[in-house]
Amino acid sequence: MTTRPYAAFRRTLSFADKFQEFHWPLLLVIVVVSCIGIAMLYSVAGGHISPWASKQMLHVSVGLVLLTAAALVDIRYWMNFAYPLYGVCILLLIAVEVVGHTGLGAQRWIQLGPIQLQPSELMKIALVLALARYLHGLDVEQVSKPLRLLVPLVMIGIPAALVLKQPNLGTAIILAMDGACLLFLAGLSWWWILPTGTAVAAAVPIVWQFLHDYQKRRVLTFLNPQNDALGAGWNISQAEIAIGSGGMTGKGYLHGTQGQLNFLPEKQTDFIVTSIGEEFGLLGCIALLLLYAAIIGCGIRIAMAARSQFGRLVALGLTLNFFFYIMINGAMVMGLIPVVGIPMPLLSYGGTAMLTVMFGFGILMSVHVHRQVEIPRHSGIIL
């Protein structure tokens, strides 16, 4: 990429320049995976374009527009928007909490005209942006100072607690992991990492051990009321049957029985991967994993190539966020971890999830487009 003449060297770029600097392979893989998702939605609907495939096409189209728009926005704008966006997201989470309690129970979204806004989804991006903005201003020694460290911990803790209270364990875990990874990448001292990591790793099983079975179940049920033990057990076993019955090459496109005959609940959202496993077998699943790995690889390379710490942290933070979705959803449908409500990015049916993921890729693309932009460490509002 160094052989090309860099328009990005310039501090300001025209729209045409920016288009030229797009990471087209990344965009191509994103579109390919999205199309696989649409094709699978067509299949699980029993070979019908409605109700999911047609709407998902719309989601993808709008998402690509959003991606492009976000990519064209200068990275420094994103840096300036980081804190306000974070603040708005916190307010939205609180609003959901209030509306949820007075309104429809465990409501996670706010209806804004035709758009269902799910603040917890947007929060992941806002948190990455805000943390990157904050960590951008710290050098390596400062990151590990207790007082300096308190700020990002609070920044992670507030949204995580709000999301956990919704309750949405999966998203809360992803928020915490996103934040922890950004701290790690910013150079947090091993003196913090190792004891804390050890303590957490040691405490979880010990605390878990002391819980009775029914308490464990109650904890899980409390955290995920929509997935009661029996329902989760049914989901998981049917998901395993779907994937496992695919064998090496699968039953063939449109010939998956588990999904089409409704044995898989949530087959169009969280469990879409099982249909790929059923219809395309191990080869199909590995191919999908490779496509995802390609996207993550692109994200890592974009992060490494960015000149500003903010850009690097944002790019890798968003990539990690993407990765955590894949990891948790994948492990869940393969029966490695309990059911938590996390969709498979780009594949699962859903407008908010698709738009958020595309928005994230838009900012990632923006980092790539503006990779040569340098941002001074101690910068307020810069432009």
Q: Residue 115 forms beta bridges with which residues?
A: 112
Which residue's CB is nearer to another protein, number 85 or number 236?
Answer: 236
Q: Quick check: 67 and 359 in contact, CB under 8 A?
A: yes
Asked if 179 interacts with another protein (CB under 8 A), we say no
Binding segment toward another protein, per CB under 8 A, in 58-66, 163-171, 308-316, 364-372: 308-316
Asked if 197 interacts with another protein (CB under 8 A), we say no
Q: How far is the CB of 214 from another protein (least distance, A)?
A: 28
Q: What is the dihedral of CA 119, 123, 126, 131, to 10 degrees?
A: 160
Q: Looking at residues 8 to 67 of the shown chain, list those that interact with another protein (rule: CB under 8 A).
A: none
Q: How far is the CB of 188 from another protein (least distance, A)?
A: 9
Binding segment toward another protein, per CB under 8 A, in 24-32, 69-77, 213-221, 258-266: 258-266
Q: Looking at residues 312 to 331 of the shown chain, list those that interact with another protein (rule: CB under 8 A).
A: 312-313, 316, 320, 323, 327, 330-331
Binding segment toward another protein, per CB under 8 A, in 50-58, 59-67, 160-168, 299-307: 299-307
Which residue's CB is nearer to another protein, number 92 or number 285?
Answer: 285
Asked if 304 interacts with another protein (CB under 8 A), we say yes
How far apart are alpha carbons 135 and 151 in whole angstroms? 10
Asked if 258 interacts with another protein (CB under 8 A), we say yes
Contact partners, residue 373, CB within 8 Å, separation at least 6? 8, 11, 74, 75, 76, 307, 308, 311
Q: How far is the CB of 41 from another protein (least distance, A)?
A: 18
Q: Looking at residues 334 to 363 of the shown chain, list those that interact with another protein (rule: CB under 8 A).
A: 334, 336
Of 309, 348, 352, 356, the residue at the interface with another protein (CB under 8 A) is 309
Task: Look at residues 354, 297, 347, 311 and name the one whose alpha carbon lies nearest to residue 59.
Answer: 354
How far apart are alpha carbons 101 and 227 in whole angstroms? 20
SS3 string of 333-367?
A: HCCCCCCCCCCCCCCCCCHHHHHHHHHHHHHHHHH
Q: Residue 116 forms beta bridges with which residues?
A: 111
Asked if 240 interacts with another protein (CB under 8 A), we say yes
Tell me which amino acid residue 319 is: T
Q: Quick check: 54 and 108 in contact, CB under 8 A?
A: no
Which residue's CB is nearer to another protein, number 148 or number 217?
Answer: 148
Half-sphere exposure of 153 (CA within 13 A, CB side): 10
> Judged by CB under 8 A, how many residues of this single chain contact another protein?
51
Q: How far is the CB of 39 from another protein (least distance, A)?
A: 20
Q: How far is the CB of 97 from another protein (least distance, A)?
A: 32
Q: How far is the CB of 232 from another protein (least distance, A)?
A: 16
Length of the chain: 383
Asked if 89 interacts with another protein (CB under 8 A), we say no
Longest dimension (CA), the chain: 64
How far apart are alpha carbons 288 and 292 in whole angstroms? 6
Binding segment toward another protein, per CB under 8 A, in 35-43, 47-55, 237-245, 363-371: 237-245
Task: Look at residues 59, 165, 171, 62 and name the one whose alpha carbon lies nearest to residue 126.
Answer: 171
Tell me which amino acid residue 164 is: L
Which residue's CB is nearer to another protein, number 151 or number 293?
Answer: 293
- Quick one: how far is CA 334 from the chain centroid? 19
How far apart are alpha carbons 130 and 147 in whole angstroms? 17
Q: How far is the CB of 332 from another protein (least distance, A)?
A: 11
Which residue's CB is nearer to another protein, number 119 or number 330?
Answer: 330
- Quick one: how far is CA 292 from the chain centroid? 12
Q: Looking at residues 110 to 169 of the shown chain, list those that interact with another protein (rule: CB under 8 A).
A: 139-140
- Quick one: how far is CA 190 from the chain centroid? 26
Which residue's CB is nearer to another protein, number 227 or number 309?
Answer: 309
Report the interface residues with another protein, using CB under 8 A.
139-140, 181, 184-187, 238, 240-248, 257-258, 261-263, 277-278, 281-282, 285-286, 289, 292-293, 296, 300, 303-304, 309, 312-313, 316, 320, 323, 327, 330-331, 334, 336, 374, 376-377, 379, 382
